[in-house]
Chain A
């Protein structure tokens, strides 16, 4: 597609329920990133995928969080047993490759995010 697409744009869920957030990166972008944006905390790195390599999960805050990327394209971020502190905007970004020159030359392209509210 023309840009990074995320769905849903808004999600309200009850505490304890599971949620799935979807990201469709720019076609041809091999690198995909998930960030969490919350008030006062800026952008917190969660996970990233580079082509067919194992993802870097070092930013996931707990084992309730997981993500997968099927066919090197669409990614799904799953949060199990949601808690109120999970409320945030979840941003997805993609870049042409994970080579630093790509990130330096082109930056990341971000989606518009999914606003998750846990009540």
Chain B
């Protein structure tokens, strides 16, 4: 069965420090991975997708199939990055496709 693991419930970093939010997955198929973000009092929204290899708001994430990881990184944290971050895996099951989410990591950037 597919699984997404985010080992840290809470991560606190100082402003300007590097950030790495960890995500590991378990899936027998070819993984499609995403990061979603939820800022305070806002709805959950897509941050980035592994296939696009994009950088959004300074965040990047590289899929490492050998380590089955998709860690989210940013070199210099900003206060506005404080939010809840969810890693998600798109998987196929019973003829359908859906996202499985990790339990989330709350990032707190200390001014």
Interface size class of A (residues with CB under 8 A): 20 to 34
In the assembled complex, the Cα of A45 lies from the Cα of B96 at a distance in Å of: 13
Are A40 and B9 interface neighbours, CB within 8 A? yes
Q: Taking the complex as formed, is A50 at the interface, i.e. its CB lies under 8 A from any CB of chain B?
A: yes
A43 at the interface (CB under 8 A from B): yes
Known pairs A33-B98, A42-B102, A106-B46 / 11 extra A-B pairs, C-beta < 8 Å = A40-B103, A42-B6, A42-B86, A56-B96, A103-B99, A104-B49, A104-B90, A107-B46, A108-B46, A108-B99, A112-B42
Give chain A's interface residues, CB within 8 Å of chain B. Answer: 33, 35, 40-43, 45, 48, 50, 56, 58, 91, 93, 98-100, 103-108, 110-113
- A-binding residues in B (CB < 8 A): 6, 9, 32, 34, 36, 42-46, 49, 51, 86, 90, 92-94, 96-104
Chain B residues with Cβ below 8 Å from A100 are 32, 90, 92, 97
A58 and chain B: residue at smallest CB distance: B94
B96, A98: Cβ atoms closer than 8 Å: yes
13 A-B pairs within 8 Å (CB atoms) are namely A42-B101, A42-B104, A56-B94, A56-B96, A91-B44, A98-B96, A98-B97, A99-B97, A103-B32, A104-B32, A108-B99, A110-B43, A113-B43
